[in-house]
Structure 1
């Protein structure tokens, strides 16, 4: 075989260029040289020559593959210790796998497994890594091969190579991951391997990366973001999904060239010169210089200005989405496409779209704002970028799609108290209340509007500071021109409200609208529990002031509250229907409990009004609440039920005697379970001590069935644990309760099973102050 060593690479290149039949010449010779019985140097020369030969195209690849076993021999060379051999073998496999018809042949020859072993080596040259991973890039075009690659040991190795110094290696890895992301079956394992975080790093503004790898990273993240849960993970990495609306849509953008620079949220900047620049240079320079250390601007405002400046500049020169314009004809319509941007640019781009004329683009941008508003940081960023101002303005648009997207965005943004105040200051109450008054709107839209209103009209906040104050920035905001002037009757109502406060009314006209109040009452009567809860909360806010209570009473609020107290699960409980879906039933009970608790707070508030007390059917509501108190709603929802029951019972005169049926039921179904829960779950010894002492007081006063209630609620085990680790006062009270429980022989087994006997013996033998009581309890137990 020594004569083969003198075959020059130039000879086969000449054969490739001169021969009419590429299979002539030295192809057969070099394929024979790949044999396992040849010298390693001969095999290296052969595979290098064949690699260079195959670069001529498919015709030359066909010539090599007409010799059976050529691919298997090439794959075997990936085990070589020579970097040059491995590079050439991987390079030849890369070229062959680029031809569609040979892709399966390469995979079936074991290329994926051998490349996996090769990439595991501790030290590899960049060229070997590039050629090997590029082969995987070609193979991953096929669906079945993607799954094979994703569920092998390759995925962690590929992610590790994203940190490689060679940009070609990183681009090859990005190509493989981009292809894997095209298969939904690969998404789960890719996310678990950390692909989202690593791809997100490549898109950050402070990370150097080529245009190719950024494009691949976007492709991966956009495919993963098609799943709603993975979309959240993408956005948690500081990225924003921005709709691709087409470069033509930005032509309608008209920046104010002659206006004085202002912050994105609308706050004007103090003027230091007589006139602004005619061409907007003052705006641009402000954005470019805002990072000056001497600038007295908060970090969030700084990022908002920089992002706005960059996006406005791109819009002015027509550079936004230019590179995607040529693809819009061949790919999916732009109405369904997205891009991924770092949060600063993404927030500014979405706010800029809100200023355009295209209603479809505006609606999509609003929905993207809603999707991105999952953290406090993002909600505040949108506020500082001026999104709230534009969204509030767009509420008056006639387009249903725009208003739906805008309301969705405002609902997500209002989860932040800071942003919620800004939303209120922008005057959103009037359009939202007008929208809610139309009963034909969908339940989803009703839910979002009620969410916003319930956050603005929070009954836990002081009424006067919310109901009568002006906008939070201290400046009175005029109502939109579309609002009608208040009628004489409503002016009288506002005058009445103003007479009760020194502050001027801002929202009274809208909130005391009979149609609005009637709509809230209708929601209480007909809607699902989670809508009932929000409507009751808003009505509770309105019921703080006596003039407001009169308006609330006038819309038959009593029937609405009654409907909330007659929940479906209560009827099912009475009919003893077996629940086929316990998880779903538990969720329904939880939602119903929240609605009942809110309605109980509302009823308790209304009972402060003498007019309401004179008209309400207190006995009927007492019966309803007593039934609810005995139901399976969560314990924390029963506190307001119990409070409302006590208040109703007090209407007939104070009666604190435990023999009063209502007081006894409140004790059995709310007080005792609450105290036992505190003993069980509280980490504070002081809270546990107070709870057990109070529980002992109730039992010692002889409340009927109190000891049985303690046993039913599972109080024996936490009481035994308390006497083991508690202090003197808690131990004393715990022993007293257990002694009362031991009077019923049915509780003996539970007390013994809880470990009471050894605990009591330790107390007796240690001669603690409570040893006599412990001894009495021991004597009652079977030992």
Structure 2
């Protein structure tokens, strides 16, 4: 081994082995870097002392090699020394080293850096990088000494290509230490460390130590925004996810640390989710997965960053996790459970479990144990959701009693000004319900908002219901804090999407507080929209109609609607469950009518639906009529999209066209709901006497010819027919044009759509037979309506595939269409000629009609 001595010596020497000399470095060090570097192992380094860096060489490798010394003098050259000379030199070095300070070993750092050179023996380079790595564990001062020679980084990165695991581990470890200092991080990245680490980690077999050091170096680099983006957009992301399943826990922790850093950049979220990072990280938070505290914290940190996006938050919920706000341990001091109460179901009903002879414990330990083992009790025949609700509630209440509800072990993350953590759904649901029972306004508002965010699936909505969230939310509607009211109503609105939960909300007496809040709120605000959504689901006229007239099997079961509806609950959607005095308030009805007049179409739809339900009550119906409902309906029907003067030739931008289409769809829903309400009101003789039927008829006729979606025209047509029957022949003359307009603008388009889109041969046959009947009766402009709606192509296709009845009706329709020469090109383009020829040549029963049609067409 060729070594240049310090300036005090100008001769060569051999390096003696001194196995009895040992020194232990402290692996943790004070760093001026703002990055907190995490050492994952405490290493004991034998035969090392900063005053004699040569002893840092691996003794196993050193003993296997003969040491050859050369003259270090710039002008002389010489051969080897004998053993006596070597021993003398060694004694002199020992005496010299004994007289120097402990930090005098810094003078030998340059020797090892030169040993990293590419022209040196691989084993020498391996020993040198190993010595430098262990020397760097001494702290920032040692790292600064190494970095006096900037080429050391490039030479160390080159060693990552080595086939030796020792060299790769040492090189990665040294780069890990260097990158922990802010001022050197750029140099490490610019030297190609990320690319070489990527290549290294793709090797089929690596020791856990090499993986750990490599990943920890990436963790240090990923503190910088630029390097986070570079790592996320490389092959490293897939490798990091793969290492989450590694057998070594230290490797998992290191990979989780890198992913937690990558998630700090919002630009990385999409690529991380698409790479599949959510599922492997989520499993570390679940209680049934064995994991260390470190990897749990890293997984929580990464997932909390991803949860800033509402869509990615849904992915977490689908994996059984809930984002829970941290409200502070002080907020739970107001929680005062009954210390001697026997456990009950969250909805307040008694739990049918045999009680032990001893009374309940003072601090709730017996209740906790009962809650944890209730599912093992064969006598407690509970659904799975109820069992989970009991388990979660007892766990969270016990933690609250002993003051450990928010321990320091829970990872937190800030979303705006708030702190959050992630819990398994059983604990998360119970924690949120528990917060609703506190006295802290801010905490309650946060919990209500979190419940709303988590209620994205039927499973979660049912879980909140079983955990007792509904009764607490309904209780808080009249709270004197606006943020609390807003959060509570938003949570109820999201929960009410479920029919079962909606029944529970109604049973808790939600109508009165909601009506009071609606009367006091801004008519066009978001609060009114959410309240109308809840009321619209409770007071739903379509469900009322089903409960009265439909008793067929529900969802494949043998039970009918009424029987199935009451099998799980005694609640119904019938008007019998709603007290008339609760909804007959004149101020409330006036508020709904005002919404019907001058609010966005979405709110108009909700208001019209609720008013339709209320017309079932006689007192409500009379009040609605007296509040000038006709004026409100007329105002809605005169929307700008229903005036029949849309300019189809105006060139607009694509986004404006999309916006206009959305507005037309929303307006169509509103006018359909208003038409249903008007149809229902026409059953009242009082209403028929006070309205101007001619004005309403003219308005609805314009709507029928407008461009609103076809599915929204059905109730418009039904209302027109009912109005025309009430008007009589004196107003409309001997011929009723309304029936013709209904045929042209609702019936014929609906039949053609059925021929186009229906998958049932029976439905298509019914549609074509009905269409043929209408045309054969000579309805004015009926053939033009068929052609205008694009009915020729589906008719030709139906003739090719249908039975004899379909072919007969289809040929009759096509023949009538062929009477107009303008339809000939379209009939030919649809492929009618070859189809007709096949019918003629095969001498099917319809061949004569097909031949007549062929003679009409240009061939």
Q: 2:839–2:847: 8 Å Cα contact kept in structure 1? A: yes
Match of 2:139 in 1: 57
**691, 703, 717: which one aligns with 2:793:** 717
C-alpha distance in 1, partners of 2:174/2:117?
Answer: 16
Q: How many residues align?
A: 753
Against the structure 1 CA distance between its residues 464 and 127, is the aligned structure 2 distance closer, same or farther, given a 3 Å change threshold? closer
Q: Please report how far the alpha carbon of residue 753 of structure 1 lies from its aligned counterpart in structure 2 after TM superposition.
A: 1.4
Per-residue CA deviation, residues 471-519 of structure 1 (Å, 9 max, x unaligned), is 996599xxxxxxxxxxxxxxxxxxxxxxxx9x97752112111111111
Match of 2:268 in 1: 186
Q: Please report how far the alpha carbon of residue 771 of structure 1 lies from its aligned counterpart in structure 2 after TM superposition.
A: 1.9
Q: 2:455–2:495: 8 Å Cα contact kept in structure 1? A: yes
Per-residue CA deviation, residues 758-778 of structure 1 (Å, 9 max, x unaligned), is 222222222222222222222
Q: 1:180–1:186: 8 Å Cα contact kept in structure 2? A: yes
Per-residue CA deviation, residues 175-211 of structure 1 (Å, 9 max, x unaligned), is 1111111111211211111122222121112111111
Aligned counterparts, 1:48-197, within 5 A = 48-197=130-279
Match of 2:406 in 1: 321
Say yes or no: does 1:518 pair with 2:518: no
Match of 2:693 in 1: 618
Q: Please report how far the alpha carbon of residue 730 of structure 1 lies from its aligned counterpart in structure 2 after TM superposition.
A: 1.3
C-alpha distance in 2, partners of 1:713/1:77?
Answer: 74
Q: Please report how far the alpha carbon of residue 556 of structure 1 lies from its aligned counterpart in structure 2 after TM superposition.
A: 1.2
**752, 768, 773: which one aligns with 1:676:** 752
C-alpha distance in 1, partners of 2:841/2:16?
Answer: 100
Match of 1:297 in 2: 382
Q: Please report how far the alpha carbon of residue 260 of structure 1 lies from its aligned counterpart in structure 2 after TM superposition.
A: 2.8
Against the structure 1 CA distance between its residues 143 and 455, is the aligned structure 2 distance closer, same or farther, given a 3 Å change threshold? same
User: Looking at CA atoms only, which structure, 1 or 2, has the larger radius of gyration?
Assistant: 2
State the secondary structure of the residue aligned to 1:264. coil
Say yes or no: does 1:286 pair with 2:370: yes
C-alpha distance in 1, partners of 2:401/2:798?
Answer: 72
Match of 1:702 in 2: 778
Q: CA RMSD in A?
A: 2.8
Against the structure 1 CA distance between its residues 312 and 716, is the aligned structure 2 distance closer, same or farther, given a 3 Å change threshold? same
State the secondary structure of the residue aligned to 2:543. coil
Q: 1:629–1:666: 8 Å Cα contact kept in structure 2? A: yes
Q: 1:692–1:734: 8 Å Cα contact kept in structure 2? A: yes
C-alpha distance in 1, partners of 2:762/2:414?
Answer: 64
Say yes or no: does 1:308 pair with 2:393: yes
Q: Please report how far the alpha carbon of residue 566 of structure 1 lies from its aligned counterpart in structure 2 after TM superposition.
A: 1.4
Say yes or no: does 1:528 pair with 2:586: no
Match of 1:740 in 2: 816
Match of 1:269 in 2: 351
Q: Please report how far the alpha carbon of residue 286 of structure 1 lies from its aligned counterpart in structure 2 after TM superposition.
A: 2.4
Say yes or no: does 1:425 pair with 2:507: yes
Q: 1:200–1:217: 8 Å Cα contact kept in structure 2? A: yes
C-alpha distance in 1, partners of 2:618/2:709?
Answer: 32
Against the structure 1 CA distance between its residues 263 and 614, is the aligned structure 2 distance closer, same or farther, given a 3 Å change threshold? same
Against the structure 1 CA distance between its residues 674 and 276, is the aligned structure 2 distance closer, same or farther, given a 3 Å change threshold? farther
Match of 1:594 in 2: 669
Match of 1:538 in 2: 610
C-alpha distance in 2, partners of 1:539/1:761?
Answer: 58
Q: Please report how far the alpha carbon of residue 19 of structure 1 lies from its aligned counterpart in structure 2 after TM superposition.
A: 4.8
Say yes or no: does 1:637 pair with 2:720: no
Q: What TM-score does the superposition give when structure 1 sets the normalisation length?
A: 0.91
Q: What TM-score does the superposition give when structure 2 sets the normalisation length?
A: 0.83
C-alpha distance in 1, partners of 2:261/2:673?
Answer: 52
Q: 1:174–1:217: 8 Å Cα contact kept in structure 2? A: yes
Against the structure 1 CA distance between its residues 615 and 169, is the aligned structure 2 distance closer, same or farther, given a 3 Å change threshold? same
Q: 1:244–1:335: 8 Å Cα contact kept in structure 2? A: no
Against the structure 1 CA distance between its residues 557 and 337, is the aligned structure 2 distance closer, same or farther, given a 3 Å change threshold? same
C-alpha distance in 2, partners of 1:229/1:33?
Answer: 54
State the secondary structure of the residue aligned to 1:338. strand
Match of 1:256 in 2: 338
Q: Please report how far the alpha carbon of residue 217 of structure 1 lies from its aligned counterpart in structure 2 after TM superposition.
A: 1.0
C-alpha distance in 2, partners of 1:441/1:625?
Answer: 27
C-alpha distance in 1, partners of 2:211/2:423?
Answer: 30
Q: Please report how far the alpha carbon of residue 583 of structure 1 lies from its aligned counterpart in structure 2 after TM superposition.
A: 0.5
Q: 1:425–1:471: 8 Å Cα contact kept in structure 2? A: no
Q: Please report how far the alpha carbon of residue 560 of structure 1 lies from its aligned counterpart in structure 2 after TM superposition.
A: 1.4
Per-residue CA deviation, residues 563-600 of structure 1 (Å, 9 max, x unaligned), is 22111333584567665401111100010000000000
Structure 2 gaps, min length 5: 5-13, 18-45, 54-96, 549-564
Against the structure 1 CA distance between its residues 64 and 760, is the aligned structure 2 distance closer, same or farther, given a 3 Å change threshold? same
Against the structure 1 CA distance between its residues 278 and 720, is the aligned structure 2 distance closer, same or farther, given a 3 Å change threshold? same
C-alpha distance in 2, partners of 1:658/1:193?
Answer: 71
Against the structure 1 CA distance between its residues 574 and 379, is the aligned structure 2 distance closer, same or farther, given a 3 Å change threshold? same
C-alpha distance in 2, partners of 1:508/1:768?
Answer: 65
Q: 2:414–2:420: 8 Å Cα contact kept in structure 1? A: no
Against the structure 1 CA distance between its residues 654 and 458, is the aligned structure 2 distance closer, same or farther, given a 3 Å change threshold? farther
Against the structure 1 CA distance between its residues 615 and 334, is the aligned structure 2 distance closer, same or farther, given a 3 Å change threshold? closer
Against the structure 1 CA distance between its residues 163 and 389, is the aligned structure 2 distance closer, same or farther, given a 3 Å change threshold? same
Aligned counterparts, 1:355-394, within 5 A = 355-394=437-476
Say yes or no: does 1:15 pair with 2:15: no
Q: 1:94–1:134: 8 Å Cα contact kept in structure 2? A: yes
Match of 2:680 in 1: 605
Q: 2:449–2:487: 8 Å Cα contact kept in structure 1? A: yes
Against the structure 1 CA distance between its residues 472 and 160, is the aligned structure 2 distance closer, same or farther, given a 3 Å change threshold? closer
Q: 2:672–2:712: 8 Å Cα contact kept in structure 1? A: yes
State the secondary structure of the residue aligned to 1:203. coil
C-alpha distance in 2, partners of 1:334/1:68?
Answer: 41
Q: Please report how far the alpha carbon of residue 29 of structure 1 lies from its aligned counterpart in structure 2 after TM superposition.
A: 1.9
C-alpha distance in 2, partners of 1:767/1:22?
Answer: 111
Give the helix-richer structure, 1 or 2: 1
C-alpha distance in 2, partners of 1:529/1:103?
Answer: 57
C-alpha distance in 1, partners of 2:578/2:456?
Answer: 31
Q: 2:644–2:702: 8 Å Cα contact kept in structure 1? A: no
C-alpha distance in 2, partners of 1:119/1:505?
Answer: 66
Structure 1 gaps, min length 5: 477-500
Against the structure 1 CA distance between its residues 271 and 69, is the aligned structure 2 distance closer, same or farther, given a 3 Å change threshold? closer
Q: 2:365–2:398: 8 Å Cα contact kept in structure 1? A: no
Say yes or no: does 1:664 pair with 2:740: yes
Q: 1:287–1:306: 8 Å Cα contact kept in structure 2? A: yes
Structure 1 stretch 279-288 or stretch 369-378: which is displaced more?
A: 279-288
Match of 1:216 in 2: 298
Structure 1 stretch 266-275 or stretch 452-461: which is displaced more?
A: 266-275
Against the structure 1 CA distance between its residues 82 and 439, is the aligned structure 2 distance closer, same or farther, given a 3 Å change threshold? closer
